[in-house]
Amino acid sequence: MASMLNHQLSTCAISSSSSTFFNKTNFISSTSSNLSLPLKNPRIQCVANPPAEKTTYTTKVSRNANMAKLQAGYLFPEIARRKAAHMLKYPDAQVISLGIGDTTEPIPEVITAAMAKRAQSLSTIEGYSGYGAEQGEKQLRSAIASTFYKGLGIEEGDIFVSDGAKCDISRLQVLFGSNVTIAVQDPSYPAYVDSGVIMGQTGQFQKDVEKYGKIEYMKCTPENGFFPDLSTVARSDIIFFCSPNNPTGAAATREQLTRLVQFAKDNGSIIVYDSAYSLYISDESPQSIFEIPGAKEVALETSSFSKFAGFTGVRLGWTVVPKELLFSDGFPVAKDFNRIVCTCFNGSSNIPQAGGTACLSPEGVKAMSEVVGFYKENTKIIVDTFNSLGFKVYGGKNAPYVWVYFPGRSSWDVFAEILEKTHIVTTPGSGFGPGGEGFIRVSAFGHRENVLEACRRFKQLYKFISNDESKLLENAWIGKHMVLHLASSRQVYQELGVWSENRPPDNLPQ
């Protein structure tokens, strides 16, 4: 019986008569066509053959046990999957994506023109080039050093051009190997944790705390200004630190980074500093870890053209490994990284490198700052919207991400609510680590009309949570619903910043 059911669940049977539910939760079965389509349970596949377990050939190669430790999918493909499922459910909906953090605006002409020119020159005898230097073209390395690290003692030879910061993060993990311990900001960009798991640096995932064993999670919350309390952080070999941070949008101050560098020095750790959003900084926060005296002995830095010039698809980044950075035996980290780059990577594609060089020309720098400026305007629109609705909102000032607080709620629930009711894709905070629970990340990467439309829909959905107390009282019954729904207490209002001690909304349920 069970195997019959299994067979039914794993096949796509076709016949002909009118539609009925075969199994309410999993299938709509059209008896007229005898067509069974999986609905809710994503694990059930519609396949043309009999049960997989009976016929599938398996090799004798065991699965990498570290891969088996990984939880579900990588966050962003999982969000893309949910978006696709939503679009299937609502084929006519105008879905707006403020989720994955992918750039949307065209690359400035001055940059694409340089790439087109290089592409065309590959068709000429004089312009053709094959494999290039694994570390990148001299002109680009030199332009990166003089544009981003001027006066900081970083030279062309310290820079390794790459196909993006994410790829470099994995290559750095290969460099450090399986025996190191790692620390990450919590919440943080998921590539640090997942690549650490794949490398075997971690223990199993512990469901009760939503953490992998052997990773030091450095909690970053509104209470600590999104900078970890280092007095409670245990020593790790490698500290991944991203500023401005994805997802919280917080940029560490000079004083905080000075403490971080000192912490690394005291512990003999290496900081992997991710500055993929440094051009979004609009206050005095450092744009590079190397602005901190002594950082060259304890830090390397990875960065990217992705969010500066819309190169998410073009693929170009870089990593700076200062010659001063040494392993415990005195061997230069840069020499080993060079070996990794030469072994695992054959250098960045020549066409994006022409684009990168154009980015760093005076016109290119201006064009990049316009691209960044555009997204920063989007950020302000989103921040203002959530502020006007009475939410506590973080980030946004120095980063293209807005970190919105939904006290007492599961972020996957809020993600699902927003998607279902507004057709807007966001990112659930808990996808970035347990410290992100209760938050939603709203990305400012979007066409202006989409961002404005999304904000209209956010206002529609959350209009009852208003900073305007009289409106709150007027909508007391909705407030009551909200209170019950969220946490059944005044605290919710206090946390939302809509509480007035002088005139608390006493007519609301306590």
Which residues of the chain form contacts with ligand PLP (CB under 6 A)?
101, 164-166, 189, 242, 246, 274, 276, 304, 306, 312, 317
- β-pair type (215-219, 182-186): parallel
- β-pair type (427-428, 439-443): antiparallel
In one letter, which amino acid is 85?
A: A
Q: Are 183 and 218 in contact (CB under 8 A)?
A: yes
Min dist. Cβ of residue 276 to ligand PLP (A): 4
Nearer to ligand PLP, 400 or 438 (CB): 400
What is the Cα–Cα distance from 421 to 44, expressed in whole angstroms?
Answer: 26
The structure tokens listed for 214 are 């052997």
Cβ atoms < 10 Å from Cβ of 409: 18
Nearer to ligand PLP, 431 or 505 (CB): 431
Q: Are 287 and 278 in contact (CB under 8 A)?
A: yes
Min dist. Cβ of residue 201 to ligand PLP (A): 18
Output Rg (C-alpha) for the chain, integer angstroms. Answer: 26
Min dist. Cβ of residue 250 to ligand PLP (A): 12
Nearer to ligand PLP, 171 or 409 (CB): 171
Nearer to ligand PLP, 246 or 350 (CB): 246
Nearer to ligand PLP, 288 or 306 (CB): 306
Calculate ∠ Cα 110-164-184, nearest 5°: 135
The structure tokens listed for 365 are 């720098």
Nearer to ligand PLP, 422 or 427 (CB): 427
**Pseudo-torsion of CA 163, 166, 172, 177, nearest 10°?**
-130
Nearer to ligand PLP, 172 or 389 (CB): 172
Min dist. Cβ of residue 289 to ligand PLP (A): 14
Nearer to ligand PLP, 242 or 444 (CB): 242
Is 444 exposed, middle or buried, given 0-12, 13-18 or 19+ CB atoms closer than 10 A? buried
Q: By Cβ distance, which residue is nearest to ligand PLP?
A: 164
Q: Which residues contact 186 (CB under 8 A, 6 or more apart)?
A: 217, 218, 219, 220, 432, 433, 434, 435, 436
Min dist. Cβ of residue 270 to ligand PLP (A): 17
What is the Cα–Cα distance from 135 to 346, expressed in whole angstroms?
Answer: 8
**Pseudo-torsion of CA 302, 308, 312, 317, nearest 10°?**
-30
Min dist. Cβ of residue 388 to ligand PLP (A): 27
Min dist. Cβ of residue 328 to ligand PLP (A): 27
Min dist. Cβ of residue 409 to ligand PLP (A): 24
